[in-house]
Amino acid sequence: MKKDKKDIRALSKEQLRDFFVTIGDKAFRGNQVYEWLWSKSAHNFEDMTNISKETRALLEENFVINHIKVDNMQRSNDGTIKNAVKLHDGFTVESVLIPTFSRTTACVSSQVGCSLDCKFCATAKLKRMRNLNPDEIYDQVVAIDRESRLYNNMPLSNIVFMGMGEPLMNYKNVLKSIEKITSPEGLGMSPKRITVSTSGVPKMIKKLADDEVKFNLAVSLHSAIDEVRTSIMPFNATFSLEDLKESLVYWYEKTKKRVTYEYLIWKDINDRQEDIDALVDFCKLIPCKVNIIEYNPIDDGEFQQASSEITDRYKDALENNQITVTVRRSRGKDIDAACGQLANKSAQD
Ligand code: SAH
């Protein structure tokens, strides 16, 4: 019966090797199966053509491969692709492929829903149902890479954890997925091309530093003033800017890697001179760069994108203080694939 079978991709290579030894086969068989599961991304045991029929039947009896299924793929005029991804237990998450002139980026989800309550984010409207497993994150990357090659003639070049969920609240599985994505036995991608984006969980930022991770860190800041930040990201009342700052200094001291701050600018929320001054001040803490993102409306107008003059004012102030800033235009809006819009419609209805 299916429910008694173990998820084979929860096993390490060593455990797979041990399994084959205990059934009287060679440990090496474990390596072969491991290769099928990860670098070849097999969906079922029958595909494992260098494994005997008997062994494949035995694997079938004992294990399952909980592969994701791309349920619905939408392509935008600008080349953006959005996948609605069905998980083995029926939940759906979304991932996005964003092609630009110089790179092809996969934006992947790390949780079903989200436990944080950012007022401007579509995913926040969904309750957090569960964490994704490492293989479910890995599969999203594999699916997007295939689509990128197929439709855009380009392999995937970058990955951002900016889909649904808060990656640092699914710390272990996110790190395991990155281990597999970067391993030569997985996809062999450079960690320099991977960015984990967090709303700012100080304790976990410090843990990343202690674990000496090699990927990039982005923090969704949106305001450098506690009262303002708490009003739009209520968890800031618990993880204050002071704690966030301390964790960022710790991160920089340990990793020597600059941090990216994601920043949205809204009318009547963070469009005052004091908001600009506070951000400039915040940016002096450690080497960093600022990404100003365009707001993608998710509801009936509680939040409104500030005018381009305000964006220019932010940009000038940062640049006058030698802080690198980029202003990013939104992509894939026509298919609700833009930043912060991922929520999967069926779950909302
Ligand atoms: N929880 C993580 C990753 C998911 S959100 C984080 O907070 O970083 C990915 C990015 O999209 C974040 O920078 C987030 O602030 C931003 N975002 C959320 N809602 C948005 C919206 N409606 N328009 C534009 N960006 C949004």
pLDDT in tens, 79-91: 899 999 999 999 9
pLDDT the model gives residue 334: 73
pLDDT the model gives residue 349: 41
Euclidean distance between CA atoms 60 and 63, whole angstroms: 6
Tell whether 58 and 134 lie within a shared domain.
Answer: no
Give yes or no for residue 340 having a pLDDT over 70: no
Domain housing 29? 6-64
- What are the backbone angles phi and psi of residue 143, rounded to the nearest 5°? -65, -45
Q: Considering 64, 85, 101, which residue would you say is the last residue of a domain?
A: 64
Please give the model's pTM, rounded to 2 decimal places.
0.94
Within 6 A (CB) of ligand 1 lie 120-121, 162, 166, 197-199, 220, 262, 264, 293, 295-296, 298, 339-340
Instruction: Take residue 157 and report the two structure tokens written for it.
Output: 């070049």
Question: Picking from 87-91, 120-124, 285-289, which range would have the lowest pLDDT averaged per residue?
Answer: 120-124
The total number of structural domains in the chain stands at 2
Tell whether 123 and 58 lie within a shared domain.
Answer: no
ipTM > 0.95 (yes/no): yes
Tell whether 57 and 74 lie within a shared domain.
Answer: no
Tell whether 279 and 202 lie within a shared domain.
Answer: yes
Give yes or no for residue 341 having a pLDDT over 90: no
Tell whether 192 and 285 lie within a shared domain.
Answer: yes
pLDDT the model gives residue 4: 79
| Band of pLDDT at residue 2, cut at 50, 70 and 90 | very low
Q: Whose CA is nearest to atom 5 of ligand 1?
A: 162
Instruction: Take residue 158 and report the two structure tokens written for it.
Output: 């970058």
Residues 313-318: contacts with CB under 8 Å, at least 24 apart: 313/273, 313/276, 314/263, 314/265, 314/276, 314/279, 317/276, 317/277, 317/279, 317/280, 318/279, 318/280, 318/283, 318/290
Tell whether 89 and 189 lie within a shared domain.
Answer: yes
Tell whether 13 and 145 lie within a shared domain.
Answer: no
Measure 10 CA to ligand 1 centroid, in angstroms. 29
